[in-house]
Amino acid sequence: MGFFGVLEKNYKINLNNQQKEAVTHTRGPALVLAGPGSGKTTVIVSRTAYLILELKIKPENILTLTFNRAAKIEMEKRFNRVFSDLISGKKVRFSTFHSFCNLVVKDYEKMQGKYLSRIEGNEESKNNKRLILKEIYENINGSRINDDQLENLINDIGIIKNKMIKNIQEFETNIKNFSRIYNSYEEYKKANLLMDFDDMLTFAYVILKKFPSILKKYTGRYTFIQVDEGQDLSKIQFEILKLLTGPGDLAGFKEKNIFIVADDDQSIYGFRGAEPEYILNVEKQFGGCSFYYLNNNYRSTANIVHVSSNFIKNNTRRYEKKHSTCNEYKYDPFIIEARDQTAQYNFIVDKVNEHLSKKRDSTIALLYRNNISSIPLAEALDRNGIAFNVKQNKLFFFNHWAVQDILAFLKFSLDQTDIDSFSRIYYKMNRYISKAMLEYALKAGYKNSVIDGILKDSDLETYRKMTLLNVKSEFKKLSKKKPFDALNYIEKNFNYFGYVKEYCDGTGLFYDYIYSLFGVLKVMALKCKKITDYLERIEEVKELLENPSSESRVTISTIHSSKGLEYDCVMMLDMLNTELPGESAIDLAREENKAELLEEERRLFYVGITRAKEYLYLIYPNFRNGFKEERTIFIDEVLECMRVKTLNDIAEGMIVNHKHFGKGVIAAILEENKDKVIVEIDFNGVRRKFDLIMCLEKGILKIY
């Protein structure tokens, strides 16, 4: 019995012909283009066993590199679960790219007798990356950096390292004095023998290049290298791979036994420095590269496979593929138009309950482009008794300065002695209250209101006293308003966003983003009757997102964090042009003919829709934050894929089901063109005419 016979009989692993071809690749470079749900992990694990059992390669000579720790753990577990009883002795090494590079750095440290401190992962340490950058930013710019800006700063530093950018001055960023901050940060680390996460890559690259003895240690040990998620490689990672695999006179061997599994259609980490070009041009990097295709999708229904594979063909910078599946046709993607955000959440709640009632162990994913969408979604789910877990939620919303400002208005309305809240907002509400007035109140003292302390100043002009009395009265009235009305008052009467606009113009922050935070607060306020209830609810939602249910079958996640996972039902919400692909991506493609960003956003949408096994809902609200929104152009592209398939398949005699009239038969095709198909359907002798495309889009008709 051969290797594949043993896999099938003993371990129930039945590989298809494409998978077998990839598994039996032995020498030289190879690129395996693995589509969604095509069993790429099974291929890597099986090939590892094939190398050991059939080719007698020693386990310690095989290195498998993964994109993240979760993938490393899953692959290692799966390999050991299946093959541990067949392979004894030394273990195969499964490692994240960063962990491997850290090993290289440790070898260098040992050689030099100098040791670096790692400054990520320990938030309590004073040598913490975030604290160091905060201090450097404040020293250079004379102001504190907020959480959003800090995240952007860290991300931009990562891009510099991953893309190996040398001219920092020409790097485009919204961070004030970025090059000075970057250089100061690098100097600080060097002076204090510190290393961050990105340095693991850059240091390892330099060490492997400058110290042949260390390079030879790894090229001699790992004669077979496998890479998972190759489309997510950055330039620095690709350069490290090239060092580890040749040329022969440097690395110590001539064969470049590198086996890369990738899907260029799922390259979605451009913001981290990943670029699909390295995979698209792999033959230039590794001459004589063999290509293998894993086209069969074991995950999704035929409907979803057909739509997704045709949808991604709108991208031009990609390998051509022929995705297929043996799964049956079931349901086309459901396109859901909601009046506003509240209607969107109501639909989601109803559908989640419907799916769970039909099948209690059904897995459901609620996916969104940006983390901010998780807040009103979590609130709606919890309010309706639906438990959920959160996938890798990185959320700064509740600590954002603008959110804290709005809450300070509300808190001060309830307690006018709350000096902390008043100190946040006194100069942000268009009432001409100065810092000197605040300081006077602190010295003079007050009993019922901070404003009473200011009014004790005998030098105040009469008109100022009248203004202050009005402010005191305003806050008293504000405390009695419903939360939603109170937020409107803060916006319109206190003109808070006039201050925000001016602040954004001066700092380069995005006003629209900050106003969107206010929109989230307003959505959450709709169901609360009192400000006290509203403030409590915000704390409850914060706790929910920080400590979600781990047992729930419902997962809320960004599309990025859902990559590599699958669910029976996927609902993608807030599918708007402003969210995905984003207006900047559309503008760059239309006005400057630069489609790179638009194509990455299309790949992200593709990742989202290919998580679905059976049900896929694409949901968009017509209005958000009171403004009319346009649904994402990607929904139009999905509809076009569905329309083309319908036009190709439509024929007289086909059975259909109408939402109101029940089952019928297409008796005649009366008109057929690019925009519409008019059919006549026979319902038990009664014939009716319909615009087939429109009825299918609205879910009124279903074709069997």
Query: Which residue ranges are tagged as binding site?
Result: 34-41
Determine the Cα angle at 699 with ends 696 and 702, to 5°.
65
Residue with tokens 């930013």: 137
> Within 10 A of 16 (CB to CB), how many other CB atoms are there?
14
Return d(Cα 531, Cα 288) in angstroms, integer: 68
The DSSP line for 171-234 is ---SSTTHHHHHHHHHHHHHHTTEE-HHHHHHHHHHHHHH-HHHHHHHHHH-SEEEESSGGG-B
Residue with tokens 């901010």: 372
Return d(Cα 560, Cα 267) in angstroms, integer: 10
For residues 330-357, one letter each, b for 16 or more C-beta atoms within 10 angstroms of the residue's C-beta and e for the rest, the string is eebbebbbbebbbbbbebbbebbeebbe
Return d(Cα 141, Cα 205) in angstroms, integer: 33
Residue with tokens 């398939």: 645
Binding-site residues for ATP, in ranges, read 34-41
CA dihedral sign of residues 368, 370, 376, 379: positive
Burial grade of 94 (CB within 10 A; 0-12, 13-18, 19 or more) = buried
Residue 268: how many CA atoms within 13 Å on its side-chain side?
20
Residue with tokens 């305003």: 474
Distance, CA of 424 to chain centre? 32
The DSSP line for 299-344 is SS-HHHHHHHHHHGGG-SSS-----B-SSPP--PPEEEEEEEHHHH
Return d(Cα 300, Cα 615) in angstroms, integer: 9
Reference 579, options 619, 542, 552, 548; nearest CA is 619
Residues 6+ apart with CB under 8 A from 605: 311, 559, 572, 580, 581, 632, 634
For residue 356, what are the CA distances in angstroms to 176, 343, 349, 362?
49, 20, 11, 6
At 339, phi and psi to the nearest 5?
-65, -50
For the chain, the farthest-separated pair of C-alpha atoms sits apart, in whole angstroms, at 101
Return d(Cα 650, Cα 667) in angstroms, integer: 11
Are 185 and 133 contacting, i.e. CB atoms less than 8 angstroms apart? yes
Return d(Cα 329, Cα 494) in angstroms, integer: 56
Reference 373, options 339, 348, 355; nearest CA is 348
For residue 297, the 8-state DSSP code is -
Return d(Cα 153, Cα 131) in angstroms, integer: 12
Distance, CA of 400 to chain centre? 20
Return d(Cα 526, Cα 486) in angstroms, integer: 11
